[in-house]
Amino acid sequence: MSEADQYENGEERRLFYVAMTRAKENVYFIADSSYKSKFIAELELEDNDTEIRKCPRCKTADLVKRSGTTNGRQWVFWGCSNFLYGCNYQEWEN
């Protein structure tokens, strides 16, 4: 292999690919939606059947639906899952 790898984290990417392709029947990915690896995030972006909405501000995290009741009034909004890391994007529902 050349020293100038074409992809960021190239060695890790190759190991991830090898692990996926060694499965005999099925592959299941289990990931915390708040702390996904970049490899899981890339797979989600390539999946055309997914209904995951990405944050338009930070582009890496998912929008998560939040709801609750305050003083008898219900509220619903979509918030960025990177909230703890500084992205405070929100979309309020009526």
Give the model confidence (pLDDT) of 1-17 as tens digits.
556 567 777 888 888 88
| Longest Cα separation, the chain | 63
Q: Which residues pair with 28 in a beta bridge?
A: none
Structure tokens at 55: 């944050």
Which pLDDT value is given to residue 57? 93
How many whole angstroms separate alpha carbon 61 and alpha carbon 52? 10
Identify whether the C-beta of residue 67 lies closer than 8 Å to the C-beta of residue 76: yes
Does residue 83 carry a pLDDT above 90?
A: no
Identity of the residue numbered 18: V
Structure tokens at 26: 């099925």
Tens-digit pLDDT profile for residues 19-76 = 889 988 888 888 776 677 777 777 776 766 556 788 999 887 888 888 999 999 999 9
- For the question of whether the overall pTM of this predicted structure is more than 0.85, the answer is no
